[in-house]
Amino acid sequence: MAEGLVMVKKKSLAHYRAKRDFKTSPEPKGDTIKSSKKPIFVIQKHKATQLHYDVRLEIDGVLVSWAVPKGPSTDPTVKRLAVRTEDHPFEYAQFEGIIPEGNYGAGTVMVWDRGTYKNIKMKSGKLVPMNECLKNGQVEVWLEGKKLQGGYVFIEIRPEKNQWLLKKIDDEMADARRNPVSTEPDSALTGRTMDEIAQDNNELILRM
């Protein structure tokens, strides 16, 4: 296999697919086998029943995902609840648009931040593979995004409820004065606002 190419774990997308009707939702099915050389991350702002931020890390060709109601913070003293959700296909990182009414997760989806990440979880002087980090409930990554940079840690707190905490590591990129969730609300992919994404989608439908 070519370097940097990872087989998608199709089985891990079973939950994702079971929840969706791809005849009525424009979301990707996840058929492509695809992985970037450097693993990617994406944070999607999702205005569903409740506004939340879906933080996704590429691991073994799929996007391992957490829903973070308040979004990530750059302040290392702030802990944010992160609820682990179903793995999403790699192509989902490019998805920005509307999930139509009546579908699972109906509402507007924006690519709020995107970039690459590095695993930084060490044990006895060695990097712990991401899969093991997930199993152990302790993930540590260095993000290189447009809005978020530096170390973040995910700590599993209530496995039976899929509850984790997301926290900024206190490193040189930590900044308690920044609040990108409110000061940088627009798309990292297209620069659009949530309203513009909804508007563009309606115009697309009217033209069809």
**Residues interacting with Mn ion, by CB under 5 A?**
46, 54
Quote the tokens at residue 5. 């190419």
Q: Transcribe the chain into DSSP letters.
A: --TT-----GGGGHHHHHT--TTT--S---------SSPEEEEEEEESSSEEEEEEEEETTEEEEEEETT---S-TT-EEEEEEEEEEEGGGGG--EEE-TTSTT-EEEEEEEEEEEEE--EETTEEPPHHHHHHHTEEEEEEEESS-EEEEEEEEEEGGGTEEEEEE-SSTT--TT--HHHHS-S-TTT---HHHHHHHHHHHHHH-
> Between 46 and 121, whose beta carbon lies closer to Mn ion?
46
Residue 171 CB, shortest distance to Mn ion, in Å, is 28
The first and second tokens of residue 96, run together, are 């920005």
Give whichever of 62 and 173 is closer to Mn ion, judged by the CB atom.
62
Q: Shortest gap between Cβ of 61 and Mn ion (angstroms)? A: 20
Nearest CB to Mn ion, comparing residues 82 and 141: 82
Least Cβ distance, residue 98 to Mn ion (angstroms): 13
By C-beta, is 46 or 84 nearer to Mn ion? 46
- Tell me the C-alpha distance between 104 and 16, whole Å: 10
Return the number of the residue (66 or 117) whose C-beta is nearest Mn ion: 66
By beta-carbon proximity to Mn ion, the closer residue of 104 and 135 is 104
Q: How far is the CB of 185 from Mn ion (least distance, A)?
A: 17
CB of 109 to Mn ion, least distance (A): 7
* Cα distance between residue 186 and residue 196, in whole Å: 10
Closest CB 76 distance from Mn ion, rounded Å: 25
Nearest residue to Mn ion, using CB? 46
Q: Can you read off the two tokens belonging to residue 207?
A: 């033209």
